[in-house]
Chains A and B, each alone.
Chain A
């Protein structure tokens, strides 16, 4: 009996601790989100979307930063999406376990988790040093390189879900392989591939480190991508660490905008992925 009750006690204690661990995890999620909403909502105003980033000590908005972020994200995604989908196609449909494909898969998965600051340094030496100045193009390039592995990996996973009967039926009709892919398989995997693109957007929306030495920042309105361009993450970073109340307030407002955007993208991506799997 004594052994039994000790076993039971151990069991209760251990399981109790695992419940506690879950509570701790959820607690931090809640605390972070609540802080963000409380501080962020107080900072959000119409001016935030109509005015540019202000000089120290005065009020203003985030218009130029929001524009810069959207512009760079859009370019990054437009370039990374076709490359990512094609790469995923090769790795899922054509490779048949060749060593180059195994290597590419392995490296892609590592790049998924690789520190983004390294990508920033890479793009810095590639696109900033030769031109002698920071630029929006360099920022977009670094974001694109971070988005690429995400789209590549999701495409691989989602193409695996398409039944091979579709490929065989198309082949039996004499359909060329590329037509099978573009007109049948991509359509069948459409919502899954879109999931990957959305996850990639969510991933690069909050990326800060690589932008610090590619796009840098710009206090004024600029739509010229060959010049330094304002963007939300870097503005948040600089304004949060400044001693000015107005700037800190804008940083919190920007942080809330980014987080809400990312969480919404995540939710949409999840529901699309669920649709693909069913």
Chain B
């Protein structure tokens, strides 16, 4: 009997050990699965970079580094230069920032400092909904409504007034096309609003209540608290939020493609049609008839990738420093 009982104990212990061993193995497998999935994202980014370099190699080896500052873009002559799209990308994003930053800051100040508590959530959600609207909808709206509206009202006004001022007037010369750099910049400004606003609001909330209350206690007005306490305190985070918005604006494709006019021209006027990196790729990729053409477009993609990666990495780094997610 004793022997049998001992066997039973051994048996139970053996199964328990086997189970424990299996758990260890299963745990290992699960761990490696999660690790592999996490690393996948890194691999993907490297894959993107490698594929862009490989894809653009024919163009880069033919045109060299001069690809970046060559203005000519001629599919017929097989000469491709990235200057115009780069110029358009930077100008439209700049316009977006010049309009978008003050408005976003204004909204964030309103939401954190002025707005009655009961309205904060609904208005905040409404502004965030702007981020949910897909970019093609902005493009559609911009093409059929904003561009014709600007063409008949704002642009003739700008040409007639600022257009006559020396030097600055050059920016607002020419005919009112409706579509062009200015319209694209304006749409981008609306599109980056929710991104900059939501980060700004988050960093504003990192200001310690004590600091805020004591400023009010000293008799500062709301604006003075914002201007002299909140903005200096959150400076780094604000720049991070702005950089994040800039990253979005630089890479935005469909909305811009609708309203930029897709013309490979650098003109002094902001009202003139032009093109951006993303719009050029979107418009011409499926029509590219030669390998060199396709490869040049991928080269544009590589430039865009490098620029946006740098801007977004800077944004992320600044935001990590302020401990905002």
Contacts and interface: CB of A to CB of B under 8 A. Distances in A.
B95 to A, nearest CB: 16
B221 A10 contact: yes
A87 interface: yes
Given A121-B51, A270-B125, A104 B138 contact: no
Given A18-B107, A106-B316, A113 B244 contact: yes
A118 B304 contact: yes
Contacts of A138: none
B272 interface: no
B136 A255 contact: yes
B126 interface: yes
B212 interface: no
Contacts of A240: 139-140, 143-144, 258
Nearest to B254: A208
Contacts of B286: 212-213, 216
Contacts of B114: 15, 18-19
Interface stretch (A20-28, A50-58, A59-67, A189-197): A20-28
Contact of A252 (B140, B190, B258): B140
B301 A18 contact: no
Contacts of A244: none
Interface in B194-239: 197, 221-224, 226-227
Contact of B253 (A15, A117, A149, A202): A117
A122 B190 contact: no
B309 A114 contact: yes
B281 A126 contact: no
A31 B187 CA distance: 13
Interface in A1-57: 7-8, 10-11, 14-15, 17-22, 24-26, 28-29, 31-32, 35-36, 39
B9 to A, nearest CB: 19
B297 to A, nearest CB: 8
B4 interface: no
SS class, residues of chain A in contact with chain B: helix
B59 to A, nearest CB: 13
Contacts of A181: 30
B130 interface: yes
A139 B178 CA distance: 33
A223 interface: no
B247 interface: yes
A114 B37 contact: no
B278 interface: yes
Nearest to A209: B253
Nearest to B102: A21
B225 to A, nearest CB: 10
Contacts of A8: 221
A113 B195 CA distance: 10
A94 B134 contact: no
A227 interface: no
A209 B276 CA distance: 14
A208 B127 contact: no
Given A29-B129, A233-B136, 10 more contacts: A19-B110, A21-B105, A86-B34, A90-B37, A110-B313, A115-B252, A205-B134, A237-B136, A241-B258, A255-B137
21 contacts: A11-B222, A14-B223, A15-B223, A17-B106, A18-B106, A25-B130, A28-B193, A87-B38, A94-B34, A107-B41, A110-B316, A115-B305, A117-B281, A118-B305, A125-B51, A125-B52, A145-B44, A178-B27, A206-B137, A208-B253, A262-B134
Interface of B: 23-24, 26-27, 29-31, 33-42, 44-45, 47-48, 51-52, 54-55, 102-107, 109-111, 113-115, 123, 125-127, 129-130, 132-141, 143-145, 190, 193, 197, 221-224, 226-227, 244, 247-248, 250-254, 257-258, 278, 281-282, 285-286, 298, 301, 304-305, 308-309, 312-313, 316, 325
Interface of A: 7-8, 10-11, 14-15, 17-22, 24-26, 28-29, 31-32, 35-36, 39, 82-84, 86-87, 89-91, 93-95, 100-101, 103-104, 106-111, 113-119, 121-122, 125-126, 145, 148-149, 152, 157, 176-179, 181, 202, 205-209, 212-213, 216, 233, 236-237, 240-241, 251-252, 255, 258-259, 262-263, 266, 270
